[in-house]
Amino acid sequence: MQVVTDIKYVFIAITSLLLSSNFIYGQSIKGIVIDGDHTPLGFVNILLKNPQDSTIIDFAITNNAGKFEFDTIPLNGILLSTSAIGYASFDTMLYQVSKQSEINLSIQLANKDYDLQQVEVNAYKNGVIINGDTTIYDPSTFTTGQEENVEELLKKLPGIVVEDGGKISVGGKEVENVLIEGDDFLDENRKAVLEGLSAESVSSVEIIGNYEAYSDLADFNTESEQKYAINIKLTKDAKSKIHGNVQLSGGHEDRYEAIADLYKIKEKSKFFINANTGNTGQNTLSIYDYIQLEGGLQNFTEQRSKGDRKIPRIFLDKERYNQINSNYLGFNFSKNIGSKLEMDGFAFAYLNNSKSSSVKRETPSHLGITNIYDKSKNDQLKTLAAKFNLDFKPSKKENWNYSSKVLLENTAETLQNRTQFFGNRFESQNHTTSEPFQIQNQINYRNRINKSNHLSFQVYSKWRKFDRNRLIASDTILPFFSSDNSFSSKSIDQKTANQKHNLDISAVYRKRIKFLNLQSKLYWNREDLDLEISDLPNLDFIASFEPSNWQRDYIGYKQGVNYKKGNLSTGVGINWFNFKVQQESTAEVSNRNYFVPSAFLKIQFNPFQQSFRLAYNNKVQAADLELANNAVEIVELNKLYQFNVEGSQILTGKHIELFYNLFDAVSGTMLFLFSNFSKSEAIGNQYFYFPTYELRKTTEIPPQELWINGLVIDKKFYRTSIGARLKSFVGYQKDYTYVEDLLNVYQNNSFKLELGAYSIWKESPMNAEMIIEYNQTQFNTGESKLSSKERIYRNSVVYGNIFFFLLYIGCSRINKK
Amino acid sequence: MIKLLIQVILLTLPCILNGQSLEVIYKCKNKGNIQTEIKNTENEKIKQALIAAKDIISNYFINFKLSQKGQYSYFAESEDGNDPLTSSEDGKISYTLSARNDIIYKDYNLSQFVAKKHQVSRAYHVEDQFMNFDWQISKEQRKILGFDCIKATSTYCGKEIVAWFTLAIPIQNGPMELGGLPGLILEATNGTGLIYTAQSVRMNVEIENLPYLSSHKKAITHNEFCEEVRKKKGLKIDMNDN
C-alpha cells in the first residue's frame, strides 16, 4: 500500500521525488530513519512543510530507535523534509490518495560531511562585502534585533570593538572618524550619536581603510599610519526623519531655558539646527556647540593649526555672572551638488547681556561710619559668524577646496568700582567697547597623481581689524585725612585701530619609492601689521606702546625622507628658512637664515599581538649648531600598558624622564600604577674675558628625583594602594674664577623616602604611612688657592632624620541613619 | 589590514564538523520592565531597593555557555565576560540573577536531563526525562546572528515561553532545559522574565572534557520544581541594613 518503502539510498529517494510523487493513503504517518549501515538514527528532524511557502506545518524528532510518527496530516499534498547533523537532507512530496489506513516510511540517509560551520560562514559572507580598502557590513546579518542603538549594533560586527567611552577600534587600531553618510558631521558628539541613533536607522556600516580626512600633509617626520573611518549609512526611513532633542524648562525668578538640537541627514544634504535661549546664569552657547558648528573637532583643530587661533571671546570668558540673558541660534548644513561638488557651512548669531557679580557690602564701623564696597560689571556681546566651504572633486585623484569665514564681534564692557572707607571715597569706571572683525579665505588643492606621487598646495589669507575704545575715569576724595584732599578726576580716552594681514602659501610634494617616503615642502608666510593709537592721554607708560607698522616675511624649504619597513621607521630632514622683518618707522631691516637638520628613529614591535606595542622613537634637531636636542621616546598606547621614556640633551645637559603606567582598561579599573621620574641636568658655561685673562667655569648638577607611585588595586568593594616615593636631591655646583684662583663648591645630598599603604573596604578606611627623611648639605665658599679636599668638607653640614611614622586605622560609615 | 582581518575571521571560523560539537554563548538578561516590577512589589523595603538599583538591574546580564559534544550537552554560566555581582554606587545593594548558577546537563542517549536550578538563594536538583514542550510553530521569522529563525511558543512551568530556532543547525537543543525543536534555539524566554539571546555560535570546537552533572539523591522532578517556582520569585536582593 505504500509507494516509498525501504528506500536504499538517498539518491533513490531523490530520483523518486523527481520522477514521481509519493502518494499516501492514510491520515497518519509512521516511519523509521536509518543510516547506511541500517542503524536507526535518533534525533533526526522530520519536518512537514507547506509546499507553497515552505512554512512548517508540523514536525517530529526521531527517538533513539530512529522512529517517528505524525498523528494527523493535512489532506493536501505536503513536503516531507529531514535534517540531521552528519547526514544529507532528504525532501519528498507526499500526496493523499485515500483517507484510509496509516503509512509507514523507511528513510535511509547518506553520510555527509555536514559542514555546519559553512552555514555560519555563508551568513558572514553574505553580510560582508570587501571592496578594496572598504569593508561593508550588512547589520541585519549580525544582529538579533534587540540592539537599541548604533553603539550596540557596532559591538556585534566582527572585527569592531567599541569601548565604554565610545572609542572604537578595528583590528586593535583606533577609528579616528565616525562618519554619517560620508560626512564627519558630529565628530565631538560621537558618543551621543552612537547612543542616540536607533539601530534600525542603519542600513549598512562601512569600514574605510586608508581614510584621509581633508588636511594639509603632515610633516615628513610624522609617522604616517593607516587610518580607519567608519561610515554609517542610514535607511530611507531614517533619512526622512528629523532626529534630535527639544527641551523646554521653566523656573523660579525668571529662570527659563529652551534648547533645540535638530538634525536631518539625507544622502545629498544634511542640516543641523541648534537654538538655545535662556536666563539661567549660564551661557547658552558653549565651546562644544561651536566646535560642532565648525564641523567637528578635527576640522576645528585643523583650522587652529593653520594659524586661525581666534576663538570668539564668549568661550574664553569665565566670569561668573549673576544674571545672563542670552539667545543663540545656529545651524550648519551640507549639500551635494552632483557627484563632484559639495558645499557645507554654518552660521550663528549670539546675543548676550550679562551682569556680573555685583558685590555690595556695607559694614558699619565702630566710629559710626559706614564703609561701602561696591563692584559691578555689565557686559554686552553680539556675535555673528558664518563659514562656507566648497569641495570640488573633478576626478578621484584631484580635490579642490575653498573655504571662507567671517566673524564679527561687538562687545561693550563696563566695570564700576566704588569704595567708601572711613569717609574716604574711591570711584572708578572703566568702559571698553571693541569691534573685532575678521575674514579668512583658504584654497587647498590636492592631487594624488598615483599611488607613489602626491602633490598639494595651499593658499591661506586672513585679514583682521580690531577697533577699541577705552575710557577710564576715576575720582578720589580723602576728606578724612584732610579737607583739602580731593583729587580731581583723571580720564583716559584711548582709541586703538589695528589691522593685520596674513598670507600663507605652501606647496608639498610627496613621493614614495617602495619603503622610502620623500617629502618636499616650500612655504612662504607674510604678515603685515598696521597699528594706530589715537587720543593718547598724558601718561608715560602708554608711550611704550609706540605705534609701529612692520612687515614680516618667512620663507622656508623643507626636505625630508623617511623609511618605513616592518617595525622600523627612520627619517632625516633639513629645514631652511629665512626670517626677514622690515620696520616701517625706522626703516630697519633684520634678516636671518636658519638651518635645522633633524632625524628620527623608531622601532616598534608587538610581542603580544594587538594588546601590546613597544616603540622606540629618537629625534634629533639642530639649528645653527647652537642647539642640539635629543629625544628618546618609548610609547605603548594600547589597552593595558603605558610606558614612556623621554630624554633630551642640550649641549652638555641631560634630561631624562621615565613614566610607566599599568592599568586594566578593559574593566575600567586601575590595577597598577607606577610612575618613575628622573631628571638629570648639567650645564657648563665658560667665560673668557680678555685682556684681564679672567676665566670662569661653572658646573652645576641640579637635584635628581625618583618617584615611585605605588600599586593601586581598585575592586568593587575595596581599594588598596601601596606606594613609595623617593626624592633624592643631589645638587652640585662648582664655580671657578681663575683670576683670583677661587673655587666655590656647593653640594647638597638629601633624600626623602615616603612609604604609604592605604586601603578602603566599603566605608571603612585604613591608612598607614611612613616617611623617612635624610639630608646632607656640604658647602664651601671663597677659599683661596684651594689645595685639599678636606677644606671642602670642613664647612660641610650633615644632618639626617628618620622622620615620622604615621599609622591610622579607622572606621566610619557614611549616611548612617 | 582590515581586509586581512576580515579574511582571517572568515578563514579561521569554518571547520569541518566531525564531532558534532558546538558552543553557543547566550546573553541572559531581565526582559521585564523594571518599572512594572517596582509597581507590583508590595514589600516596601524591596521596592525601595528596586528603585535604587533599577539602572543596574536594567543593564545587568550574564553570559551562559551551551556546550554540546556528541550526545551530551552542558549549559552553565560562561567563564568569560561575566560580572557575577553588580552593585549600586554606594555598595548597599548588590544584584544578581537567581539563574546565574543554573546548570543543565542533557543526555540525549537516555533523553534525560540533570539540572541544578536556583530560586531565591535555594538550590534545587532536578532530574527528569526530556520535556515534551508541544511547541507551536508560527510563520513569524527573523534573523539572529545571520541565521533565519522561526518563532515557536510553548509553556514552561505554566508560563508562556517564546523560542526562536534555526533550521540551519538541526540540533534539538537550546538554553536551559529547552529543546525539542527541529533546530537550535537561538533565543528564548524562560517565563519568569529572563531572555536568553545567542551572542555567538561556534561549530566544531575542541571540547576535550564536557563537564558532567551527576545525579542527586534529593533530586526532584520538573513538575515538582515548577511547584517551587510558583511559590517564589526569581529575584534576589541583598541589602545592608543601615
SS (HEC) of A10-22: HHHHHHHHHHCCE
Is residue A671 within 8 Å of residue A664, measured between CB atoms?
yes
- Among A45, A120, A126, A666, most B C-beta atoms within 10 A, so best to mutate, is A120
Q: How far is A667 from chain B (nearest CA, A)?
A: 10
Percent of chain A with pLDDT over 70: 41
Using the predicted structure, report yes or no on whether residue B139 has a pLDDT greater than 60: yes
Give tens-digit pLDDT for A680-711.
333 333 333 333 233 334 444 544 444 444 45
Burial label for B119, CB within 10 Å (0-12, 13-18, 19+), is: buried
Helix (H) or strand (E) holding A481: none
Contact A285, A276 (CB under 8 A): yes
In this predicted structure, the answer to whether residue B14 has a pLDDT above a threshold of 80 is no
Range with lowest mean pLDDT among A305-319, A490-504, A567-581, A667-681 = A667-681
Looking at residue A726, its pLDDT comes to: 54
The listed range with the strongest mean pLDDT (A264-273, A341-350, A572-581) is A341-350
Of A73-82, A737-746, B39-48, B144-153, the one with minimum mean pLDDT is A737-746
Instruction: Report the alpha-carbon angle B196-B199-B200, nearest 5.
Output: 130
The angle formed by the CA atoms of residues A495, A496 and A500, to the nearest 5 degrees, is 165
- Contact of A352 with A325, CB cutoff 8 Å: yes
CB contact under 8 A, B3 and A133: yes
pLDDT of residue A505: 93
Give the model's pLDDT for residue B181: 92
Is the per-residue pLDDT at B119 higher than 60? yes
pLDDT at A516 over 70: yes
Give Cβ neighbours of residue A667 (< 8 Å, ≥ 6 apart).
none
Q: For A749-760, what is the mean pLDDT?
A: 55
Identify the top-confidence range among A52-56, A212-216, A759-763. Answer: A52-56
Predicted confidence band of residue A603 (pLDDT cuts 50, 70, 90)? low
How does the average pLDDT of chain A come out, rounded? 62
| B198-210 per-position pLDDT tens digit | 888 877 777 777 7
Closest residue to B1, CB basis, from A46, A117, A226: A226
Q: What is the residue whose three cell numbers read 566704588? A: A418
Cα distance between residue A690 and residue A289, in whole Å: 64
List of chain A residues whose C-beta atoms are within 8 Å of the C-beta of residue B108? 42-43
In this predicted structure, the answer to whether residue A194 has a pLDDT above a threshold of 90 is no
Residues 6+ apart with CB under 8 A from A87: A35, A41, A44, A109, A110, A111, A112, A114
Handedness of CA A218, A220, A222, A225 (dihedral sign): positive
B161 vs A105, higher pLDDT: B161
Range of lowest pLDDT (A451-455, A491-495, A748-752): A748-752
Higher model confidence: residue A64 or residue A658? A64
Q: What tens digit of pLDDT does each residue of A413-430 get?
A: 787 777 766 666 677 777
Average pLDDT for residues A745-772, to the nearest whole number? 50
Rounded to the nearest integer, the mean pLDDT of chain B is 75
Is the distance from CB of A370 to CB of A362 less than 8 angstroms?
Answer: yes
The predicted pLDDT at position B187 comes to: 94
Contacts of A140 in chain B (CB under 8 A): 143
Residue predicted with more confidence, A616 or B138: B138
- At A751, the pLDDT band (50, 70, 90 cuts) reads low
Section B11-35 average pLDDT: 63
Which is more confident, B242 or B78? B78
- Its sign, for the CA torsion A15, A17, A19, A23, is positive
CB-CB neighbors (< 8 A) of B3 in chain A: 130, 133, 135, 209
Give yes or no for a contact between A768 and A760, defined as CB atoms under 8 angstroms apart: no
Residue type, A773: E
Q: What is the pLDDT of residues A148-190, one digit of tens each?
A: 778 888 887 766 777 766 678 776 667 777 777 776 655 445 6
Task: Pick the residue of B13, B16, B17 with the most A CBs within 10 A to test the interface with A by mutation.
Answer: B17
Q: CA-based diameter of chain B, in Å?
A: 58
Interchain contact A47–B (C-beta under 8 A): yes
What distance in Å separates the CA atoms of residue B165 and residue B163, rounded to the nearest whole number? 6
Kindly report, residue by residue over A17-48, the tens digit of the pLDDT.
Answer: 333 344 444 467 788 888 877 788 888 888 88
**Upstream peptide bond of A691 is cis (omega within 30 degrees of 0):** yes
SS3 call for A182: coil
Give tens-digit pLDDT for A464-482. Answer: 887 777 776 666 666 555 5
**Does the beta-carbon distance from A228 to B2 stay under 8 Å?**
yes
Q: Are A709 and A725 contacting, i.e. CB atoms less than 8 angstroms apart?
A: yes
Confidence of residue A16 (pLDDT cuts 50, 70, 90): very low
CA gap A643, A658 in Å, rounded: 8
How far is it, in rounded angstroms, from Cα A270 to Cα A244? Answer: 13
Opening angle at CA A814, ends A808 and A816, nearest 5 = 125
Phi-psi label, residue A791: left if phi above 0, alpha if psi -120 to 50, beta otherwise: alpha
The per-residue pLDDT for B104 is 92
**Pairing outcome for strands A22-24 and A87-96:** parallel
Better pLDDT: B238 or A757 = A757
CB contact under 8 A, B6 and A159: yes
Global ipTM: 0.73
Q: What residues have CB less than 8 Å from A806, skipping those under 6 apart?
A: A768, A769, A770, A771
Q: What confidence category does residue A541 fall into, taking pLDDT thresholds of 50, 70 and 90?
A: very low
- pLDDT band of residue A313 (cuts 50, 70, 90) is low
Least confident residue range of A115-124, A158-167, A350-359, B129-138: A115-124
Q: How confident is the model at residue A432 (pLDDT cuts 50, 70, 90)?
A: confident
pLDDT over 80 at B52, yes or no: no
Give the residue from B5, B25, B56, B144 with the most A CB atoms within 10 Å of its CB, the best one to mutate: B5
Task: Name, of A690-694, A810-814, B179-183, B225-229, the range with top average pLDDT.
Answer: B179-183
User: Strands, E, within A279-423: which ranges?
Assistant: 321-337, 341-356, 359-364, 370-392, 398-421
Compare A421 and A111 and report the one with higher pLDDT.
A111
- The x, y and z cell numbers of residue B20, run together, are 558534532
The predicted structure's pLDDT at residue B143: 86
Q: How confident is the model at residue B151 (pLDDT cuts 50, 70, 90)?
A: very high
Nearest to B10 among A42, A63, A125 (CB): A125
Alpha-carbon gap, residue B238 to B93, rounded angstroms: 6
- Per-residue pLDDT, averaged over A562-575, amounts to 76
Residue of chain A with shortest Cα separation from B201: A120
